[in-house]
A and B are shown apart, each in its own frame.
Chain A
Amino acid sequence: MTDTVATTTSPAGGAGSTDSGGAGSRRPRRDRFTALGLLPFFGFVSLVFLLPIAFILVNAFRRTTAGAVHRDPVTQQFVHEGGRTRFTGANISESLTGVYRTSLITSVKLSLIVAVLGAVLGVLLAYAVVTSTSRLLQQVVTAAAAVTANFGGVPLAFLFIATLDANSGILSKFMQDHFGFSLANDAHVQLAQTSGLSIVYLYFLVPLMVLVMTPALLGLKPQWSEAAQSLGATRLQYWRHVAGPVLLPNFLGSLLLLFCSSFSAYATAYAINSSFPLVTIRISSVLSGNVLAGQENLGAALALDMILIVLPLTVAYQLLQRRTSKWLA
Chain B
Amino acid sequence: MKGAAAQTATGTTVEYRDVCRVFGSMSALDGLNLRIEPGELLALLGPSGCGKTTALRLLAGFDQPTSGSVLVDGSDISRVPVHRRDMGMVFQSYSLFPTMTAVDNVAFGLRMRGQQVSGRRGRAAELLDMVGLGDHLKKYPHQLSGGQQQRVALARALAVQPRVLLLDEPLSALDAKVREQLRDEIRRIQLELGVTSVFVTHDQEEALSMADRVGVMRAGRLEQCAAPAVLYDRPATPFVAEFVGSMNRLAAVTEADGRVRIGGQVLPADGELPSAGRNVTVLVRPEATVVTPDEAGESVIMVATFRGATTRLRLLRADSTEVLADVPSYRAADFSPGSRVTISMLERPVLLAATS
Chain A residue numbers with a CB within 8 Å of B99 are 242, 245-246, 327
Number of interface residues of A (CB under 8 A): 21
A242 to B112, CA, bound (A): 12
A244 to B98, CA, bound (A): 11
A235 to chain B, nearest CB (A): 9
A246 to B157, CA, bound (A): 21
Interface residues of A in 224-262 (CB under 8 A from B): 224, 226-234, 237, 241-242, 245-246
A237 to B157, CA, bound (A): 17
B269 to chain A, nearest CB (A): 47
A228 to B91, CA, bound (A): 12
Chain B residue numbers with a CB within 8 Å of A226 are 60, 62, 82, 89, 91, 95
Q: Let me know if A232 and B112 touch, CB within 8 A.
A: yes
User: B94 contacts which of A221, A229, A234 (Cβ < 8 Å)?
Assistant: A221
Describe A's contact surface by its main secondary structure: helix
Q: Let me know if A230 and B108 touch, CB within 8 A.
A: no
Contact with B along A265-306 (1 / 0, CB 8 A): 000000000000000000000000000000000000000000
Chain A residue numbers with a CB within 8 Å of B108 are 228, 231, 233, 241
A236 to B22, CA, bound (A): 30
Interface flag for A7 (CB, 8 Å): no
Interface residues of B in 81-137 (CB under 8 A from A): 81-89, 91, 93-99, 108-109, 111-113
Chain B residue numbers with a CB within 8 Å of A178 are none
B86 to chain A, nearest CB (A): 8
Number of interface residues of B (CB under 8 A): 31
Chain A residue numbers with a CB within 8 Å of B81 are 229
Interface flag for B139 (CB, 8 Å): no
Q: Let me know if A223 and B95 touch, CB within 8 A.
A: yes
Chain A residue numbers with a CB within 8 Å of B85 are 230
Query: In the complex, what residue of chain B is closest to A242 when comparing beta carbons?
Result: B97
Interface flag for B138 (CB, 8 Å): no
Interface flag for B160 (CB, 8 Å): yes
User: B89 contacts which of A224, A230, A237, A328 (Cβ < 8 Å)?
Assistant: A230
A242 to B95, CA, bound (A): 11
A328 to B94, CA, bound (A): 10
Q: Let me know if B87 and A230 touch, CB within 8 A.
A: yes
Interface flag for B142 (CB, 8 Å): yes
Contact with B along A208-230 (1 / 0, CB 8 A): 00000000000001011011111
Interface flag for A32 (CB, 8 Å): no
| A231 with B94, Cβ < 8 A, contacts A245-B99, A327-B142 known | no
| A231 with B91, Cβ < 8 A, contacts A226-B62, A327-B98, A327-B99 known | no
B62 to chain A, nearest CB (A): 6
Interface flag for B156 (CB, 8 Å): yes
| A229 with B83, Cβ < 8 A, contacts A241-B108, A326-B142, A327-B142 known | yes
| A231 with B109, Cβ < 8 A, contacts A226-B89, A327-B142 known | yes
Q: Let me know if A223 and B87 touch, CB within 8 A.
A: no
Most buried by B among A226, A232, A234, A246: A232
Chain A residue numbers with a CB within 8 Å of B97 are 224, 227-228, 241-242, 246
User: A230 contacts which of B83, B93, B111 (Cβ < 8 Å)?
Assistant: B83
Q: Let me know if A223 and B91 touch, CB within 8 A.
A: yes
A238 to chain B, nearest CB (A): 9
Contact with B along A312-329 (1 / 0, CB 8 A): 000000000000001111
Chain B interface (Cβ < 8 Å from any Cβ of A): 60-62, 81-89, 91, 93-99, 108-109, 111-113, 142, 153, 156-157, 160, 166
Per CB-CB distance, the 4 closest pairs between chain A and chain B, nearest first, are A231-B109, A232-B112, A327-B98, A229-B82
Chain A interface (Cβ < 8 Å from any Cβ of B): 221, 223-224, 226-234, 237, 241-242, 245-246, 326-329
Give 18 pairs: A residue, B residue, CB < 8 Å, sorted on A. A224-B94, A227-B96, A229-B62, A229-B82, A230-B61, A230-B82, A230-B83, A230-B85, A230-B157, A231-B88, A231-B108, A231-B157, A233-B112, A234-B83, A241-B108, A327-B99, A327-B142, A329-B142
